[in-house]
Structure 1
Amino acid sequence: MNHSTPRIKLRLEYDAPLVLGPGKAELLTLIDRLGSISAAGREMGMSYKRAWSLVEEMNAAFATPLVDSSRGGPGGGGATVTATGHEVLTRFRRLEQLLATRGADEIAALATLLKPPAAPK
């Protein structure tokens, strides 16, 4: 049986309210690399408004902000991922890895229960 390798998409739902998933993790990663919320949003194909809204949601849910930002102007603005943001991102990535490695047998077992792929026409 030839099935494509499944991808695990970790989605954590908290009562904060907060949903922390691969999109927000990627946004944090890009903000850290690019130093800009707008640049991170552009790279992900989202508007600055949407990227900023996601950052605000994360910042509001945690005890300390995940992203510090400064307004633009003559010198330009910028954003940095805080120590808490780095910890959240590290722990999220560890959970993804844990699911992939420890869950590999279960994922393979589920794959054996799938219908066979359709024959090419």
Structure 2
Amino acid sequence: MEKGVPRIKLRLEYDAPLVLGPGKAQLLRLIAQHGSISAAGRRMGMSYKRAWSLVEELNRAFVQPLVDSSRGGPGGGGATVTPTGRDVLRHYESLERLLADRGADDLAAIGGLMKQGKDA
């Protein structure tokens, strides 16, 4: 991250109940990339149980599941991000870009009002 440039972490809270933030978005990206919930969880430094729990939370919150998975076994399991999951991720990423692009002046203004240096 460039010095002095703030990060935006978008966190959407719904009454579903669901919190959709950077972690779940990254989990969806990695499942799509690796075709595996366990591989995605490992890449994020979380247990399979935690990754699976987050996937279940996402799937329960939406009309259609965001991740479709098949059990392991002789042929191995796998997971895919569904069309609904891809749509949710696309909209989430669009909101992130919107905040970064259209909010740049406001972010700079807030930064200008902050203490600078080691006294901060």
TM-score by length of 1: 0.95
Read off the aligned partner of 2:43 and give its amino acid letter: E
Q: Hey, what does 2:95 align to over in structure 1?
A: 95
Unaligned runs of 5+ in 1: none
Query: In the aligned structure 2, how far is the partner of 1:75 from the partner of 1:108?
Result: 53
Aligned length: 117
Partner of 2:117: 117
Return structure 1 stretches of 4+ with deviation > 3 angstroms: none
Distance in 2 between the 1:116 and 1:42 partners?
Answer: 38
CA root-mean-square deviation: 1.0
Equivalent AA in structure 1 for residue 36 of structure 2 = S
Could you tell me which runs of 5 or more consecutive residues in structure 2 were left unpaired when the two chains were aligned: none
Offset of residue 13 of structure 1: 0.2
Q: Secondary structure of the residue that 2:80 maps to in structure 1?
A: strand
- Mapped to 1, the partners of 2:38 and 2:106 lie a distance apart of 39
Higher relative contact order (CA 8 A, sep 6+): 1
Report what 1:39 is aligned to.
Answer: 39
Q: How does 1:6-45 map to 2 (within 5 A)?
A: 6-45=6-45
Identity %: 72
User: Which residue type is aligned with residue 43 of structure 1?
Assistant: R
Query: Residue in 1 aligned with 2:4?
Result: 4
Cα deviations across residues 62-87 of structure 1 (Å, max 9, x unaligned)?
Answer: 00000000000000000000000000
Q: Which whole-Å CA distance do the structure 2 matches of 1:4 and 1:50 have between them?
A: 34
Instruction: For residue 96 of structure 1, report the CA deviation from its aligned partner.
Output: 0.2
